[in-house]
Structure 1
Amino acid sequence: MGTVTYRQHSCTVHEHRFDVPLDHMRAVGADNPTIEVFAREVVRDGGEDLPHVVHLQGGPGHEAPRNGDFHDGFVGHLLKDHRVVLLDQRGTGQSTRLDVRSLLEGGDFTGTGGTVDAQRLADHLALFRQDQIIRDAEVVREALTGGKPWSTIGQSYGGFLTLAYLSAFPEALTKCLVTGGLAGMVHVDEIYRRTYAATAARNETYFRRHRADRRTIREIAAHLRDTEELLPTGERLTPARFRLVGMSLGGSLRTDLLHYLFEGPWVTVGGRRRLSADFLAQVGTQLAWTPMYAVLHEAIYAGATPDLAGTATNWSAERLSREVPGFHPDADPLDEAEPWYLSGEHMTRAAIAEDPATRPFLEAVDVMAARTDWPAVYLPEVLKDTEVPVAAAVYHDDMFVPRDLSLATADLVGARTWITNEFQHDGLRASGGTVVDRLVDLLAD
């Protein structure tokens, strides 16, 4: 372990780096090297003897928060009673990364002629799910706490990680806070049917506020179908990728900002209507997520429990887009007899194929979509007997994590829940410290 320490705004910050096995289930060797995991430990003045809490970030594929002043927001509220550990999950941030440059330019996963070895790459990507991440966390915990248990706070996918942690290492945990992240113990098809319906509802809520945007969005989609418009990264913007700007509909902080994107997208070039460079740049920024987020998105749901063993995801988001009105990939945007909606956390094959950052992974994602021998990441038989106190914020209109499935999981683990429509999926960040304080109070009652 290597550590660098410095002072920042009356906090002591320790930056830790750990070597961990690529696959915790096998001995380290030539075919199972170590990778690096980074964790930033923040201690307020006078807090040296406080217990640890580890923040498990949403995603997959998102690094831990980078705060200018750690006293701000939810981290500041946690610092009152804890030493806060901000973990960059494997594949993200300062931990060993998952992206085209780190994986494919070195040649480890390419064959003759530079072609990608899809099976080998898929096997590698599969080692970046919940079961391996929480084992990384155990290495960090042992080093930082001397083996003492710690608390967790899990946002979105961080809640999925929490359930995996409770399944595998309940003795390592003193309490768990979950915000918008109680995963459903069901096949991904059941999850996406619900999230497509919730996304449709969020579209309609948005259009009630910004009525003219409904027509604007349809016209943009039709224009992109018929006209080549290039993003700043050089690739053509298609209706399939344009749809994904609807991700903003799932949060409190970005939904209203979406309207500004649509208030003036057009310019006239040579007598023809075209999309402005500013509009294309803004869309490009919104679509510039980490490749890990896209390529592993369905894989985090695969074979999640022992009862789901032997099942494949089989491109669930792609298949189900044809079932729910408003999302069919071949629908005519200008046919007002049918709805045409922006989508959310639905990584279709087309969206991955059209993004230069994810296209090289496409065949490997095909392999993962067909895989049926996934190890379970949640163990309901263990979860139902957990004695670890759990408090969870469940957002009534959550576009990404269905409420009814979250409440079923809450019943399974005996979690105390705060069900609210005051916030959307980004409530942990949008509320400052309100959500954290509410969950802490739930456990204190």
Structure 2
Amino acid sequence: MHIDITLSDIKARKHFFSVPLDYQQSPSKQITVFARELVSVENQHKQLPYLVFFQGGPGFGAVRPLSYSGWIKRALKEYRVLLLDQRGTGLSTPVNATSLSYMSATDQADYLSFFRADNIIRDAEYIRTKLSPGEPWSILGQSFGGFCVLHYLSAAPEGLKEAYITGGIPSLTRSADEVYQATYQRVLAKNQDFFTRFSDARVLVDTLAKYLFDNKVYLGTGELLTVEMLQLLGINLGMEQGPEAVYYLLEQALIDTPHGVDVNPLFLHQFSQFLDYNTNPIFALMHESIYCQQQASAWAAHRVRNEFSQFNYRPGKPLLFTGEMVYPWMFAQFEQLEPLQQAANLIAAKKDWPALYNLEQLAANKVPVAAAIYSEDMFVEMQYSLETAKQVSNLKYWLTSEYEHNGIRMDGERVLDKLISLNRGHCLR
């Protein structure tokens, strides 16, 4: 089924596909995968090749285009763009506490085990047989989308003409523990930069943390706002314009009233908009599994945090923000995660995750790959990305300090243009 709509200078078509939950089992339960096809108005009658976009995450639907701008504008010059809602996100049989409520915790964990990069790529290949039969297509992955690209190159390179990665070259072999040991170091650096840039931020943060430690403060959702939850704001420090947004939120957190200091209702309303755990539970449920190959994550970020006591707050000690980490206590504190707590523990204990990367295939890769590696990226360790780049044949990279992790969102037209030039042997400009 497809539905046509019109955006600003863009024609869009909505596609819905019925795909197997488990491609290894026949027959299998079917789920729906949604993809939005874009073409510029001036090219709508041309037979253009496809560029498929894999969103960051895991657990987030593809970007919803609002205008003819950014990386989409550059891509539409020569492609039809396919925005894929990865299974479980957006309009693709969404995963949330409501949709999983009819399952036992064991069944929830078993169901969610089919929502990693391997099955996302199986979905993409299935869709290619429908939209581009017999023709390979181009792909672009941002952040976790880059992890999907590397799996695509490992598992089905015959389906690819060329590949692009921004902020998402994973280690092919390192464990979740190693990833988080590097990640905490980068988060420490982002904290230092934040408190240096905003001279009153230390007082604002520590005063608020002490208030939350001494008082029960509830968000508009009814959730208790804890110090640990406050620390999660640090995930925004790794985004361009993220530190500014966090600072402006914090500077209006507390207000003076005739009865003393109290929390600003505006802050309580806006706080929840900075964190996606209630609205995008796959991110919390499956995030650590994206690093797992034949081993359990066993709550890696939580365990590795014990090596970094700086992040353990107590009154009189400076508060530090955490980053892209998921902790078991989140499934007791976030309203929409609480019903999934048992499933989350089962997923964290799962040891038999299949391998995601074929090292021999990647070493012999013939698909042209161009990647942007951001040297200041808080989310993806630069040294691990460079390590992987040496292991993948035919991969060229652009190493830059110009952008944070969300560079393609902030300056996508330039970023994608550079990668296209790099892949085609043109001079970067």
Q: Is the 8 A contact 2:285 2:347 kept in 1?
A: no
- Find out whether 1:384 has 2:363 as its counterpart: yes
* Aligned pairs (5 A) from 1:282-321: 282-289=270-277, 290-303=280-293, 309=294, 311-321=295-305
Aligned residues of 1:295 and 1:352 also touching (Cα < 8 A): no
Q: Which amino acid in structure 2 is aligned with residue 35 of structure 1?
A: I
Distance 1:267 1:221 in 2: 14
1:128-143 superposed matches below 5 A: 128-143=115-130
| Corresponding residue of 2:2 | 3
- 1:170 maps onto 2:157 in alignment: yes
Shift of 1:274: 2.1
Q: Secondary structure at the match of 1:127?
A: coil
Q: 1:149 to 1:411 in 2, by over 3 A?
A: same
- Partner of 2:135: helix, strand, or coil? coil
Distance 1:301 1:400 in 2: 13
The 2-side partners of 1:429 and 1:49 are apart by 27
| Pairing 1:422–2:409 present | no
Secondary structure at 1:164 match in 2: helix
The one-character-per-residue Cα deviations of 1:350-372 (angstroms, maximum 9, x if unpaired) are 12321011111111111111111
Task: Give, in angstroms, the shift of residue 270 of structure 1.
Answer: 6.1
Query: Are 1:99 and 2:115 counterparts?
Result: no
SS at match of 1:100: coil
Aligned mate of 1:38, from 23, 34, 39: 34
Q: Secondary structure at the match of 2:416?
A: helix
Query: How big is the shift at 1:288?
Result: 3.5
Find the aligned partners of 1:402 and 1:424 in 2 and give their Cα distance.
12
Match status 1:265 vs 2:253 = yes
Distance 1:324 1:342 in 2: 12
Q: Which moved more, 1:129-138 or 1:208-217?
A: 208-217
Q: Deviations over 1:344-397 (max 9, x none)?
A: 110111123210111111111111111111111112121111111111100101
Tell me the SS of whatever aligns to 1:192: helix
Q: CA deviation at 1:326?
A: 2.2
> Once the two structures are superposed, what CA deviation does each residue of 1:127-171 show, in whole Å capped at 9, x if it has no partner?
111111110111111111123100100000000000111111011
The 5-angstrom pairing of residues 16-95 of structure 1 reads 16-28=15-27, 32-44=28-40, 45-46=42-43, 48-69=46-67, 71-95=68-92
**Matches of 2:85 and 2:376, distance apart in 1:** 29
- Tell me the amino acid that sits aligned with residue 51 of structure 2: V
What's the offset of the Cα at 1:89?
0.6
Q: Secondary structure at the match of 2:303?
A: helix
Aligned equivalents of 1:236 and 1:46: distance in 2?
52
Partners in 2 of 1:264 and 1:39 — Cα distance? 40
Aligned mates of 1:223, 1:12 — CA distance in 2: 51
**Equivalent residue runs for 1:93-132 within 5 Å:** 93-104=90-101, 107=102, 109=103, 117-132=104-119
> Does the 8 Å contact 2:14/2:35 carry over to 1?
yes
Residue of structure 1 equivalent to 2:329? 350
Residue 179 (str. 1) matches residue 166 (str. 2): yes
- 8 A Cα contact 2:21 2:114, kept in partner: yes
Counterpart-to-counterpart distance in 2, 1:355 and 1:161: 28
Matches within 5 A, 1:169-208: 169-185=156-172, 186-208=174-196
In 2, the alpha carbon distance for the partners of 1:10 and 1:354 equals 44
Q: Deviations over 1:90-136 (max 9, x none)?
A: 111111000011111xx2x1xxxxxxx22211111111111111101
Alignment correspondent of 1:442: 422
Say which SS state the counterpart of residue 326 (structure 1) adopts.
helix
2:316 matched residue in structure 1? 334
1:219, 1:333 within 8 Å by CA — same for their partners in 2? no
8 A contact 1:151–1:173 mirrored in 2: yes
Query: 1:219 corresponds to which residue?
Result: 207
Aligned residue number for residue 112 of structure 1: none
- Cα 1:10–1:212 shift into 2, 3 Å: closer
Q: Higher mean Cα deviation, 369-378 or 267-276?
A: 267-276
**Higher alpha-carbon deviation: 222-231 or 131-140:** 222-231
For the residues of structure 2 that align with 1:340 and 1:258, how far apart are their CA atoms? 14
| Cα displacement (A) at 1:253 | 2.7
Structure 1 spans left out of the alignment, 5+ residues: 110-116, 304-308
Query: What SS does the corresponding residue of 2:376 show, helix, strand or coil?
Result: coil
Shift of 1:68: 1.8
Residues 39-67 of structure 1, C-alpha deviations (whole Å, 9 max, x = no match): 01111222521111100000011111111
Partner amino acid, structure 1, of 2:138: S
State the AA in 2 paired with 1:102: S
Percent identity (aligned): 38
